[in-house]
């Protein structure tokens, strides 16, 4: 087993796999460069390829002895236009264009829209955005058979381009037939996180939950204005949230996205759940070995906001410089966290503890670490709940999470500040102290003379019983005394 030092940063990096990165050697290089978790995009590729990717990631776990999260991202109900006689057509600026139910190939005046749920739903004045907003249509008249529009922004439109409808809640389920098959595949292959795309309402999470059957954590991707309107309910029902700025940036005005990103991050952090900032973070690195200054600032801003994780999409999935993209993101995050003002910035958000013993102790961990020279917080947990409570407080020191559950350890790979280690459960206070010291020394979270906070629950092994906080001092022969 190779030894890999703990990350020098608390924010996590989620790297998307794809043609440029799914081979075992490249996955290893990305992991060593700083990737803490890998995203498998179910919109592309087939199940056989995804199975090989997952197998290669699990092999990395064994090689380095570190849990890695696998995030399977469902495609969701993407709306698309039909096809054109010549493969494409040109919609004239300020001209008229019709979307209808006629399956015949389209031209410069009309095209088939194979989504009957949209007809009779749209009203005069509402917008239709095509091809990531490059074409902008405004509804003049709509009925059960056609949607007649004026082209505020025209241009070239080609087969199967995506359609966004920002002004209406679309009465379609969050899971397509393809999504159901992909979800079954993901849970059967041990995915740790499931990304639910195009969430519009809290109810969208219910079907996914049922199909998951308690396997994996559910991440709601916020990329529709309708989801923003019910954000509190969605955050409450999800295990985590992704700020998916791709479609969100299409359906909203560009200037609306940054404050909304901060709102989503803050709401999720306050709830004590992981939040991921995603899409176009280092977009230029798809083709360039170096990012733009604006992209560096974008990543840094997400880290300063206290996001649990930042994500790379096409940069690692299909780009020419996948390893360099992870390396740069790691360097940006590490540099930001070294800033003297970093802790003040991430704690600018008030996250008062709930009125429970567990939350009070998690808050105390932060206070003690600010007051005493503490090297790390050692958390004993079965479900990960205690680790999430501590992470919500954004302590100044890293968190060594000891858990008997590999499932829990993997899911925590997307939690701010958490370094999870799978170990046998503890049965007594003395065993807790001894194991906490031993694991801290073994995994590089202190040396002789270092102080640690130990956080656990008595009786041991009982979920939700966090009620014990203890400050311990490491001694140099701890590994020798208890065996390495």
Confidence of residue 4 (pLDDT cuts 50, 70, 90): confident
- CA-to-CA distance for 14 and 36, rounded, in angstroms? 6
| CB contact at 8 A, 219 and 241 | yes
For Cα atoms 131, 133, 137, give the angle at the middle one, nearest 5 degrees: 100
> How many alpha carbons lie under 13 Å from residue 355 in its C-beta half-sphere?
0
CA distances from 86 to 12, 107, 109, 308, 426 (A): 46, 8, 13, 46, 68
> Please, what are the domains in the chain?
12-76+173-339 (3.20.20.60), 79-164 (2.40.33.10), 357-482 (3.40.1380.20)
In this structure, are residues 94 and 150 in contact, taking their beta carbons and an 8 Å threshold? yes
Long-range contacts of 431-434 (CB under 8 A, 24+ apart): 432/380, 432/456, 432/460, 432/470, 433/470, 433/472, 434/478, 434/482
Q: How far apart are CA 72 and CA 218, in angstroms?
A: 10
Could you report the per-residue pLDDT of 421-445, keeping only the tens digit for each?
Answer: 999 988 888 888 999 999 999 999 9
Catalytic residues: 39, 80, 221, 279
Helices 204-212, 177-188: inter-axial angle, 10-degree rounding = 40
Question: Could you report the per-residue pLDDT of 148-205, keeping only the tens digit for each?
Answer: 999 999 999 999 999 999 999 888 888 999 999 999 999 999 999 999 999 999 999 9
Q: What is the pTM of this model?
A: 0.93
Residue 124 CB coordination number (10 Å): 10
Residue pLDDT, tens place only, 102-113: 999 999 999 999
Cα 331 to Cα 8: distance, rounded to the nearest angstrom? 10
Give the distance from CA 329 to its chain's centroid.
15
Q: What is the pLDDT of residues 466-480, one digit of tens each?
A: 888 999 999 866 554
pLDDT > 70? residue 2 = yes
47: Cα separation from own chain's centroid: 21
pLDDT at position 476: 67
Give backbone dihedrals phi and psi of 459, rounded to 5 degrees, phi first.
-70, 145
Report yes or no: 13 and 326 within 8 Å, Cβ to Cβ: yes
pLDDT at 188: 98
Residue with tokens 């380095």: 64
């Amino acid at each position: 087993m190779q030894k890999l030092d703990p990350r020098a940063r608390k924010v996590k990096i989620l790297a998307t796999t794809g043609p440029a990165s799914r081979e075992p050697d490249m996955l290893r290089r990305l992991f060593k460069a700083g990737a803490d978790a890998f995203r498998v995009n179910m919109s592309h590729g087939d199940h056989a390829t995804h199975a090989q990717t997952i197998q290669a990631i699990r092999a990395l776990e064994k090689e380095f002895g570190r849990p890695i999260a696998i995030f399977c991202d469902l495609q969701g109900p993407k709306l698309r236009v039909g096809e054109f006689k010549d493969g494409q057509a040109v919609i004239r600026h300020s001209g008229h264009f019709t979307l209808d139910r006629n399956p015949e190939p389209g031209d410069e005046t009309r095209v088939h829209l194979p989504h009957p749920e949209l007809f009779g739903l749209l009203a005069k004045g509402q917008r239709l955005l095509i091809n990531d907003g490059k074409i902008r249509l405004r509804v003049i008249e709509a009925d059960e058979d056609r949607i007649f529009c004026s082209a505020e922004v025209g241009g070239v439109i080609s087969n199967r381009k995506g359609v966004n409808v920002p002004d209406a809640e679309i009465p379609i389920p969050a899971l397509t037939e393809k999504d159901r098959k992909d979800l079954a595949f993901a849970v059967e292959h041990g995915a740790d996180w499931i990304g639910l795309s195009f969430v519009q309402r809290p109810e969208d999470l219910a079907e996914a939950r049922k199909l998951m059957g308690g396997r994996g954590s559910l991440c709601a991707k916020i990329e529709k204005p309708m989801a923003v309107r019910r954000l509190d309910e969605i955050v409450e029902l999800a295990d985590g949230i992704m700020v998916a700025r791709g479609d969100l940036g299409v359906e909203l005005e560009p200037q609306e996205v940054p404050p909304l990103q901060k709102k989503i991050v803050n709401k999720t952090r306050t709830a004590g759940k992981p939040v991921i900032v995603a899409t176009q973070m280092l977009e230029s690195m798809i083709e360039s070995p170096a990012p733009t200054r604006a992209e560096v600032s974008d990543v840094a801003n997400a880290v300063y906001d206290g996001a649990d994780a930042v994500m790379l999409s096409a940069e690692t999935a299909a780009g020419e410089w996948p390893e360099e993209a992870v390396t740069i993101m790691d360097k940006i995050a590490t540099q930001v966290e070294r800033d003297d003002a970093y802790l003040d910035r991430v704690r600018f958000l008030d996250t008062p503890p709930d009125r429970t013993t567990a939350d009070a102790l998690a808050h105390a961990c932060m206070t003690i670490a600010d007051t005493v020279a503490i090297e790390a917080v050692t958390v004993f947990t079965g479900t990960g709940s205690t680790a999430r409570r501590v992470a919500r407080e954004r302590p100044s020191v890293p968190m060594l999470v000891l858990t008997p559950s590999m499932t829990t350890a993997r899911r925590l790979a997307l939690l701010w500040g958490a370094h999870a280690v799978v170990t046998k459960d503890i049965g007594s206070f003395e065993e807790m102290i001894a194991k906490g010291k031993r694991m801290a020394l073994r995994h590089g979270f202190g040396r002789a003379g270092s102080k640690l906070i130990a956080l656990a629950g008595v009786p041991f092994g009982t979920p939700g019983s966090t009620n014990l906080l203890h400050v311990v001092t490491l001694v140099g022969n701890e590994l020798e005394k208890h065996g390495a």
